[in-house]
Every structure is written in structure tokens, then in C-alpha cells.
Amino acid sequence: MEKTEKKKLDIHLLSRVFTYVKPYRLQFTCSLVLALVLSVFAPVRPYLIQLTVNKATGKAVEAPGWLKIFISEQHLSSALQFILAVTIFQVVFIFIETITRFIFSFTTSWLGQAVVKDMRIEVFDKITRLNQRQFDKTPIGTLTTRTINDIESINDIFSDGLVPILADLFAIVVTLATMFYIDWRLTLISLIPFPILIIATYYFKESVNKSYLRVRNAISALNAFVQEHISGMAIVQAFAAEKREADKFNKINKEHRNANISAIFAYSVFFPVVEIILALSMAFLIWFVADNKLDAGLLVSFILYLNQIFRPLRVIADKFNVLQMGLIAAERVFKVLENEDMQPSPEQGFFLPEKIKGEIRFDHINFAYNPPHFVLKDVDFHINPGETVAIVGHTGSGKTSIISLINRLYEIQSGNILIDQVDIKDYNIEYLRKHIGVVLQDVFLFSGSIMDNITLRNPQITKSEVMDAAKLIGMHDFIMQLEGNYDFKVMERGSSLSLGQRQLISFIRALLYNPSILILDEATSSIDTDSEILVQKAIEKLIVGRTSIVIAHRLSTIRKANKIIVLDKGEIKEIGTHDQLLERNGFYAKLHQMQFADQMQTAL
């Protein structure tokens, strides 16, 4: 029952993979036709060798009709002329066969790469639209494996899997048919050990399949581990954890090694077994030819035929495993494509005729990353267009969750979020996010130039616009001092720049995209005083004419806010201006006193 279900699953997966072949029907049809042509070519050379050996040993040779087209009666009468003519024909035939095989191999490989390209684009596009929750619980290395390694395995379905298997099977069938046509008794005698080969092939396929599955899992684990630890190498080194992490890596790496050794062992057993079975077949063949005094040419041709049958059988089990691993990889890739944990965005979603004004309304919001553990509880507030609102509270109070919800990085469990009196679920999500600028505490910069990081490779933004924005933020002079100026190469994650410099670059980016709503997530909490002064000036310029939401760790930076929202354990405790909240002597006042006391103690 399980095997039947597995076969159905494999057929279903294969049919899904082949939906990506539709744009390349011509190439796929060409590869199948070439496979058939090559299978017809397979028995030709052994048969010609049979004729030449018989002619050379003085036997009468009756050339087939198709050969007489290329060889005249004069050539048939003389052994030397016949052998010379057939040899010339074989040279030409080998050249044609080689060209055909090259076109076949190139076409199947090209087809695989074309499918891989299309699938990889679709998978990457899917990943970019997944709910942020997916990235919270899925290691980056796993998604990397799905996008690169697993899809590359799908390429093997075409280059080393299904089409080559079909080509080998066609060749085996044609060769067997030729052998039965020439001498059915000799064919049956030579195939006596064949059932042993079928059994050995089956067990080899099953053994290697299990090993390859272990290898794929180990590769996924290795990718996830290496990706995570290289990204967090500063923490590993800071806490002298190199030895402990190396031990963990060794454990994963050993599993990868053991899985490969298991596959190598299966190969080491299978190939000698195939050679022994081939030797037995030849022994039966030679015995029968000698016992019945058959032609030497017949013996030579049947030895070549057996090699043509056993040679693909030696690798066909391996190709089946390649096909199986491609299907396993396809199943994993399709799971990513089937993941519907995305922020639904109607294609014809809501577009305002004019730019978003920036009015925000949180209407009794309840939100949990993992229900029923709510991080926001009945949150209700209103922000007018152009207002600057600060959100404060202890770590874990829900500040970052609020800004994540405005951008629709997560879906709420209950309540409504309205922007300009329209539910954000009704907006086209791309349109919505274009009008919301976010500057995070931990600024992420990509590998590439400063220009690329500011524009995010948007060709519509000119260099003069970037320079004007940099001058407004106060970053232009610094950038001009760098090697290459705006073409200065930023290392991965912006490691070649200071935290303050990365912050200012993110401000230039936000200013260029001219958002209606600006979100600043603790933009000055981790930088030095000099950088903070620059950042504060940049913030003052950025928030002009925009609805701004500032998450602040230092309460001294939000005194000018039109409104301060105080959170604690996911609930709003107070709302008001800085002076109003101090007068109430409530939760905010206590936070202010605690921070002021800490600053005084630090100064002392």
C-alpha cells in the first residue's frame, strides 16, 4: 500500500515538474526523438563487426538491404574490399552517432537548466512574499538549500534522470530485439544470469536511495549551520565558543560523511557484481557457440551486444536514484511554492487617487506570533496625518510588533488597522509599502556600492537625486571622502561602515523614496554621541510633513513628539505629550525617572 502511494506521489511530482517543460516542448520532443534515433543506432556497429569478422574468416556474407545502399556488389565479392568499405562506413557512422549524441546531451542539459532557471525565479519570488513568520521559524540555510541545491537536483531529472533513462531503455529494447532476431536461442542462453542482475539492481537502487536521502538532509543541515554561524561569527568569537561550535559542526559533518560512505559502499558492491554477472553471461555464450560450432562473427557481435545491455544497466540504477533524489528535491521545492502563509494582497487592491496622507488608526488590535500568547492586547490609538508619535516601553512590551503590523509583515488575530480610513488588508500590499519608510535599529546593507544600497537598484532614481538627498541628510561630504565615492563597495551587512554611517545611509534611502509614513525603530539607541547628533538632525529633516512613528529607547529624544504611547506587556498604559505624562506621575514618569537616575549614575 505504501509503495503504491509512493508511486502515485512520484508520478504526481514528475507531472508537476513537467509543467515547467511546456515552454520548451520543442527541445523536449527533440531530446525524445534523438533518444529513439540513438537506440536504433545501438545495434548497428556490432552487426557490422559480425559481418566483417565472418567475411574475414571466409564465411559467406549476405549484407542487409540497407547496407547495400552504401556498398556495391563489387565490394561484396572481395573480402578486402568489403572490410575496407564497411570500415569507411563505420567511421562515417561513428561521426554521425557522435554528433547525434552530443546534440542529445546538450539538449537535455539545456532543457534542465531552462527549467531550473524558471523554477528558481518562481521559488525566490515566492520566498520574498512569504509572511515574516516563516523567516522567524525557518533557518535561512534551509531556504538557501531549497533555492539552490534542491532545484539543482531537479536539473538532474533531465540531464541524468528521466530522459537518459528512457534513452538507455530504448537502446536495451532495440538491442535485445536485434539479438532475438539474429539468434533467439543464443540470446536466451546468454541472458540466463539476467534475473540475478535485476535483483542486484533493485537492492542497489534502494540502498543508494536511502543514502542519498541522508546526504540531502545532511547538506541542508550543513547549509543552515554554516549560514547561521558565519553571520553570527562575532558572537561566537566574543564568547570564545569556537571549540563548542566546531564540535557541533563536526557532528553534522560526520553524518554527511557517513551517508556518502554508505552510498560508496553500495557502489563498491554493485559494480563488481555486475561484472561477475556479465562474465557469466559471456561464459554461457562462448559455451553455446563452441558447442554448436557457430560463426566467430556471431560470437563477437553477441559479446558486444551484451556489453551494450550491461553497460547502461550498470548506471541505470544510479540514474533511477538521481531521478528519485530529483523528485525528493522537487517535493521540498513544491512545499515552498505551496506555502500560502503570505500576506494576501488583492491584485486589484485599493489604490488612492492621490498620495497616502498618513492617518493611522489601530482599532482594538490583538496580535500573537504564536497564539494564544498575545504580545498586543486590545491596542487602540489614532494618529493624525503629519503627527510625530513616539512609542515607548520596556523590552518586550510590543513596540516593534506595532510597526511590523503597519507594514503588514504579520497578520493580526482581531481588530482593524486603518490607513486614511481604509483597512490595510484592502490595499495592494506593494502600493501600501511604497508609502511606508522604515529605518531599523540594525540597518541591513547589501554587498555592493553605496549607490546600490541607497537606490536598491531602482533605475528611476538618478545619481543627482541621491546626492541631493545625501546633502540634506549631511552625509554627502563623508561619502565623497570614500574610495570611489558613491561607488564605494560596501561589504556584506555593511561591515565596512560604522553603525552611525549605516543609519545615515538608511535615512538617505528613506528620504529618496519619499514615504507618507516614516517609522524609526530606535535609530539612535546604539550609536555614539557624535553620530547621534547627525542622526537627530537627519530625523528632524525626515519627519517634516510626514506621519512619523518613533520607537525610542532614550526618552530625551522624543520630547517634541506630538503624542507618546506608553506600552507595557502588550497593553497601552498611557497616551499624551511628554509634559502631560510627566504631570500624571504614572508609568511614563517612572520610566523617565529610572532613565534619568541611570544617566546620573553613569555620569558619576
Using pLDDT thresholds of 50, 70 and 90, give the confidence band for residue 73: low
Residue 602 — very low, low, confident or very high, per pLDDT cuts 50/70/90? very low
Report d(CA 152, CA 568) in Å as an integer: 48
C-alpha cell at 251: 557532528
Cβ atoms of 306 and 278 within 8 Å: the answer is: yes
Assess whether 372 and 290 both reside in one domain.
no
CA 240, 242, 243, 249 dihedral sign is: positive
CB contact burial 472-509 (16+ within 10 A = b; e otherwise): bbbbbeebeebeeebebebeeebeebebbbbbbbbbbb
Alpha carbon distances (Å) from 462 to 456, 502, 505, 509, 516 = 12, 21, 16, 13, 21
Q: Which of 248-262, 276-290, 291-305, 519-533 has the lowest mean pLDDT?
A: 519-533
Q: Are residues 376 and 500 in the same domain?
A: yes
pLDDT at residue 72, rounded to an integer: 62
Residue 353 has pLDDT above 60, yes or no: no
Q: Which pLDDT does position 74 carry in this prediction? A: 57
Cell of 271: 559494480
Give me the long-range contacts of 404-407 (CB less than 8 A, separation at least 24): 404/132, 405/365, 405/367, 405/376, 406/360, 406/436, 406/517, 406/519, 406/549, 407/432, 407/433, 407/436, 407/438, 407/519
**Statement: residue 92 has pLDDT above 60:** yes
For residues 319 and 394, membership in a common domain is answered with no
At 450 the pLDDT is 82
Residue among 402, 428, 427 at smallest CA distance from 415: 402
**Are both 229 and 302 inside the same structural domain?**
yes
Q: Which of 144-148, 150-154, 300-304, 593-597 has maximum average pLDDT?
A: 300-304
* C-alpha distance from residue 214 to each of 14, 86, 318, 329 (Å): 21, 51, 16, 12
- Full residue range of the structural domain in which residue 418 is found: 360-603
In-domain check, residue 349: no
- Can you tell me the distance from the alpha carbon of 138 to that of 224, in angstroms, rounded to the nearest whole number? 9
pLDDT tens digits, one per residue of 180-235: 988 888 889 988 888 888 888 778 877 877 777 787 778 778 877 887 777 677 67
Does the pLDDT of residue 488 top 70, yes or no? yes
- Residue of 94, 108, 110 whose CA lies nearest to 45: 94
* Residue 190 to residue 284: CA distance in whole angstroms: 6
Residue carrying C-alpha cell 498575545: 374
Q: Does 41 reside within a domain?
A: yes
Mean pLDDT along residues 386-390: 87
Cα separation, 285 vs 262, in Å, equals 35
pTM above threshold 0.95: no
Q: What is the pLDDT of residue 102?
A: 93
Tell which of 307, 338, 369 closes a domain: 338
Same domain, 446 and 476: yes
pLDDT at 98: 93
For the chain, the 3-state helix, strand and coil shares in percent, each to the nearest 5, are 65, 10, 20
Q: In the predicted model, is pLDDT for residue 132 greater than 80?
A: no
d(CA 18, CA 14): 6
Q: 417 with 295, same domain?
A: no
Q: Which of the four pLDDT bands, split at 50, 70 and 90, describes residue 95?
A: very high
303 and 375 in a single domain? The answer is no
Mean pLDDT in residue range 473-489? 81
Number of domains the chain contains: 2
Same domain, 36 and 161: yes
pLDDT category, 100, cuts 50, 70, 90? very high
Residues 204, 266 contacting (CB under 8 angstroms): yes
Residue pair 358/516 in contact by the 8 Å Cβ criterion: yes
* Among candidate residues 81, 80, 83, the one with its CA nearest the CA of residue 52: 83
**Where a domain ends, among 338, 372, 396?**
338
pLDDT band at 401 (very low <50, low <70, confident <90, very high): confident
Instruction: Assess whether 556 and 430 both reside in one domain.
Output: yes
Evaluate whether residue 281 is within a structural domain.
yes
CATH number at residue 364: 3.40.50.300
In a domain, 352, yes or no: no
Q: Do the domain assignments include residue 283?
A: yes
Lowest mean pLDDT of 6-10, 32-36, 250-254, 359-363, name the range: 6-10
Residue 355 forms part of a structural domain: no
Task: Respond yes or no on whether the N-terminal peptide bond of residue 372 is cis (omega within 30° of 0).
Answer: yes
Does 571 or 158 have the greater pLDDT score? 571
Cα gap 473→523, rounded to integer Å? 14
Q: Which of 281, 303, 338 is the last residue of a domain?
A: 338
Same domain as 368, residue 287: no
Residue 600: the pLDDT is 43
Q: Which three cell numbers stand for residue 313?
A: 544497466
Q: Specify if 348 maps to a domain.
A: no
Q: Would the CA dihedral through 411, 417, 422, 423 be positive or negative?
A: positive
Per-residue pLDDT at 595: 65
The reply to whether 528 falls in a domain is yes
CATH number for the domain spanning 287: value is 1.20.1560.10
CA distance 56 to 182: 19
pLDDT category of residue 156 using cuts at 50, 70 and 90: confident
Q: Are residues 174 and 136 in the same domain?
A: yes
Same domain, 279 and 403: no
